[in-house]
Amino acid sequence: MSDYKRRFDIFICGGSQHVAMLQPLLAKLQPFGTIHLASSFLTDDDLRQLHGRFDVLHTPRHSPDGYSNFELFSIRDINRLATAPYFVKLDADIELDDDWIAYVEECLAASPDAVLFGPRQGNREVTMELSGGMVRELLGQEIRVAGAPKVIGGFYVGKTNFFRDNARFMELAHELLWCFKDGVRCRPSPYPQHWPARLRRKSLRIIGDAEPFRAPGNEDTLRSLVVHALGAGDRLHVFDSMGRIRIYRASERHAQAR
């Protein structure tokens, strides 16, 4: 096993519409980590076309919607599945130069204590408050984050031990945002073992834009929120990749095509 395979778990997801993009992208990723392909309903023919280009196939069924399925996979499964010191999460529609791994190595050399970094900062900062007795009992603290930077989800690198050690915190923070509306539960708990009956009488207050979490989107916002909430915001970084990693929003792709 190569050194890279021991150092990096790489998580990527795709559906049938991504196969043509995944073929060259996986070839660039494969030498530099253990490739985890999360199949959002890839067909048997799709998988035949991608055969030999990934190491582990995951078939999450968190949602019938492919996008939501990957969001929930990124929230619920990556922290549990990653075993290498670092994990890389990326979208199927980004573009990488052949030397993309040099960017990762340079970032780790410059900031070896980083817990989360990527090449692009979100347009909107992370501002969210989760408070009340329910939050204090579940998480052991209230969450108040204001104007904090977010690493965009198209490509980021996380420190496995940090997120594995804080996986329950992240899961429950997501549940508070995803399963409640105006302080009232609107979805059943995916983690009922963490919810004693007495919690039903506890208060919950959420200030901030929680609506996108109920889509459920914003796995990158959640991951950044958790880093800041746990006092590790000084270990979250946005490092310019100098064009080696290109993340385009849909509107940017449309503008390029014109």
Residue ranges of alpha helices (H) inside 8-131 are 19-29, 44-49, 66-76, 78-81, 100-110
pLDDT more than 90, % of the chain? 74
Whether the pLDDT of residue 196 is over 90: the answer is no
Its pTM stands at 0.92
What mean pLDDT comes out for the span 27-35? Answer: 96
What mean pLDDT comes out for the span 149-169? Answer: 97
Average pLDDT score over the chain: 91
Task: Give the residue from 82, 29, 26 showing the smallest Cα distance to 49.
Answer: 26
**Band (250; pLDDT cuts 50, 70, 90):** low
Gap between the Cα atoms of 29 and 26, Å rounded: 5
Residue 109 is predicted with a pLDDT of 97
Whether the pLDDT of residue 257 is over 70: the answer is no
Residue 258's CB: how many other CB atoms inside 10 A? Answer: 4
Contact 155, 90 (CB under 8 A): yes
What mean pLDDT comes out for the span 185-204? Answer: 88
Residue 210 is predicted with a pLDDT of 85
What mean pLDDT comes out for the span 134-157? Answer: 96
Residue 215 is predicted with a pLDDT of 73
Residue 65 is predicted with a pLDDT of 85
Whether the pLDDT of residue 96 is over 70: the answer is yes
Gap between the Cα atoms of 165 and 219, Å rounded: 18
